[in-house]
Copies of this chain bind each other. A is one copy, B any other.
Amino acid sequence: MTQQKQVILQKVRDSRTHPTADEVYEMARQSLPRISLGTVYRNLDSLSRDGLIRTLEGSGPRRYDGDLEKHCHVRCKLCSYIRDTVPVVEISLEEASQSFDGFMVTDYHIEFVGMCGECRERLNAERTL
């Protein structure tokens, strides 16, 4: 665990905004001005593989989440803002594994998609012009 890796982990954990690699890079640079983007990517990847953070794939750039508690996400179609939500559904991995024969299921993601309040307002305002 190098200094870089520690800072990156801390930044991801501290932020509740599901930052992209680039955003983590900007945050990390405040502590380590000479850190490089490549290092950020490598460490985010490694932290994710070690299960210390979570990777969120979806439209647009990959995002990272330091919150390992079980929860789902709502993603705004327009601005890509992601909000945490309480777990709406819990699914048994064993049950899932059994029903998809051959497949060993280790994880699942539930993502809601829609439009956040701000984008709805903005859209309404544009329409009334």
Q: Nearest CB to that of A107 among chain B residues? A: B113
* Closest Cβ neighbor of A120 among chain B residues: B104
With A88-B99, A91-B88, A99-B88 known as contacts, the answer to whether A113 contacts B109 (CB < 8 A) is yes
- A111 to B100 CA separation, bound complex (whole angstroms): 12
Q: Is the CB of B99 within 8 A of A106?
A: no
Question: Could you tell me the distance in whole angstroms from the C-beta of A100 to the nearest C-beta in chain B?
Answer: 5
* Size class of the contact patch on chain A: 35 or more
Chain A 57-84 near chain B by CB (<8 Å), digits 1 or 0: 1110000000000000010110000010
Q: Which residues of B contact A102 (CB under 8 A)?
A: 116-118, 120
In the complex, which residue of chain B has the Cβ closest to the Cβ of A114? B105
Contacts of A85 in B (CB 8 A): 99-100
Interface string of A15-26 (1 = CB under 8 A from B): 000000000000
Which residue numbers of A lie inside 8 Å of B, CB to CB?
57-59, 74, 76-77, 83, 85-86, 88-89, 91, 96-97, 99-118, 120
